[in-house]
Structure 1
Amino acid sequence: MYVRHLQLGSFRNWEKVDVALGPGPTVFVGRNGEGKTNLVEAVGYLATMSSHRVSADGPLVRHGDAQAVVRAALRRGDRELLVEIEINPGRANRVRVNRAPLPRPRELLGMVRTVLFAPEDLALVRGDPTERRRFLDELLVTRTPRLAGVRSDYDRVLKQRNALLKTARLARGRAIETLDVWDGHLTDLGGQLLAARLQLIADLAPHVAESYAGVAGAGAVIAGLGYSSSVPAAGDGSPVAPGPQPSAAELTAAMRERVAERRGDELDRGITLVGPHRDDLVLHLGPAHAKGFASHGESWSLALALKLATFALLRAEGEDPILILDDVFATLDTQRRAALAAVARSAEQTLITAAVVDDVPEELRSVRVEVGDGYAVVVKDGAGFAEGRVP
Structure 2
Amino acid sequence: MYVRHLAVADFRSWRSADLALPPGPVVLVGANGQGKTNLVEALGFLATLGSHRVANDAPLIRSGAERALARAAVVADGRELRVEVEIVAGRANRARLNGAPVTRPRDILGVLRTVLFAPEDLAVVRGDPAERRRFVDELVVARAPRVAGVRADYERVLKQRAALLKSAGGARRSSAGADLPTLDVWNGHLVEHGSQLLHARLQAVRDLHPHAAAAYAQVAPTSAPLSLRYVTSLAEVLPALAEADAVPEPGELAQAMLAQLQTVRSAELDRGVNLVGPHRDDLDVRLGELPVRGYASHGEGWSSALSLRLGSFELLRADALPGGEPVLMLDDVFAELDVDRRAQLALVAGKAEQAIVTAAVGGDVPGELDGVRIQVASGAIVGGA
TM range (shorter): over 0.9
Could you say which residue in structure 2 is the equivalent of 1:26?
26
Pairs within 5 Å for 1:119-134: 119-134=119-134
Mapped partners of 2:311, 2:241: distance in 1: 20
Contact persistence 2:241–2:247 (CA under 8 A): no
If the length of structure 1 is used for normalisation, what is the TM-score? 0.93
Match of 1:223 in 2: 226
TM-fit CA distance, 1:240? 2.7
Contact map agreement 1:29 1:36 (CA 8 A) in 2: yes
Contact 2:74 2:111 survives alignment (8 Å): no
Q: Note if 1:357 corresponds to 2:367.
A: no
The answer to whether the 8 Å contact 1:345/1:364 transfers is yes
Partner of 1:158: 158
Number of residue-to-residue matches in the alignment = 377
Matched, 1:200 2:204: yes
SS in 2 for 1:95: strand
Task: State whether structure 2 residue 372 is matched by structure 1 residue 367.
Answer: yes
1:110: which partner in 2? 110
Deviation at 1:247, TM superposition (A): 0.5
Amino acid paired to 2:228: L
Moved more, 191-200 or 324-333: 191-200
Task: Name the CA distance, whole Å, in 1 between partners of 2:378 and 2:229.
Answer: 47
In the alignment, the residues of structure 2 paired with residue 33 and residue 106 of structure 1 have an alpha-carbon distance, to the nearest angstrom, of: 30
Taking the aligned partners of 2:106 and 2:238, their CA distance within structure 1 comes to 28
Gapped runs of 5+ residues in structure 1? 383-391
- Aligned equivalents of 1:41, 1:22: Cα separation in 2: 18
Alignment of 1:168 with 2:194, yes or no, is: no
Letter in 2 for 1:220: S
List per-residue Cα deviations over 1:347-377 (Å, max 9, x = no partner).
0111111111111112313311111123213
With over 3 angstroms needed to count, the CA separation of the structure-2 counterparts of 1:276 and 1:204, relative to structure 1, is same
Which residue among 287, 297, 300 is the counterpart of 1:298?
300
2-side partners of 1:69 and 1:163: how far apart? 35
SS in 1 for 2:90: coil
The verdict on how the C-alpha distance between 1:317 and 1:357 changes in structure 2, with shifts beyond 3 A counting, is: same
1:328 partnered with 2:328: no
Tell me which of 279, 282, 285 is aligned to 1:280: 282
Q: Match for 2:215: what amino acid?
A: S
Residue matched to 1:311? 313
Question: Share of identical aligned residues, percent?
Answer: 57
CA distance in 1, matches of 2:379, 2:98: 30
Measure the CA separation in 1 of the matches of 2:381 and 2:243: 46
- Paired letter, 2:348: V
1:83 aligned residue: 83
Per-residue deviation, 1:89: 2.6
What amino acid maps onto 2:15 in structure 1? E
Distance 2:122 2:226 in 1: 16
Q: Aligned partners of 2:70 and 2:114: how far apart in 1?
A: 15
* Aligned equivalent of 1:389: none
Query: Letter of the aligned partner of 1:202 in structure 2?
Result: R
SS at match of 1:323: strand
Confirm whether residue 142 of structure 1 aligns to residue 146 of structure 2: no
Partner secondary structure for residue 231 of structure 1: helix
Check if 1:73 corresponds to 2:77.
Answer: no
Moved more, 172-181 or 54-63: 172-181
**Structure 1 partner of 2:253:** 251
For 1:336 and 1:132, locate their aligned partners in 2 and report how far apart those are by CA, in whole Å.
23
Contact 2:13 2:379 in 1 (8 A): no
- Tell me which residue corresponds to 2:55: 55
Equivalent of 1:183, from 180, 183, 187? 187
Q: SS of the counterpart of 2:293?
A: coil
Query: What SS is found at the alignment partner of 2:276?
Result: coil
How many angstroms apart in 1 are the aligned matches of 2:239 and 2:17?
48
**Partner Cα separation in structure 2 for residue 305 and residue 181 of structure 1:** 42
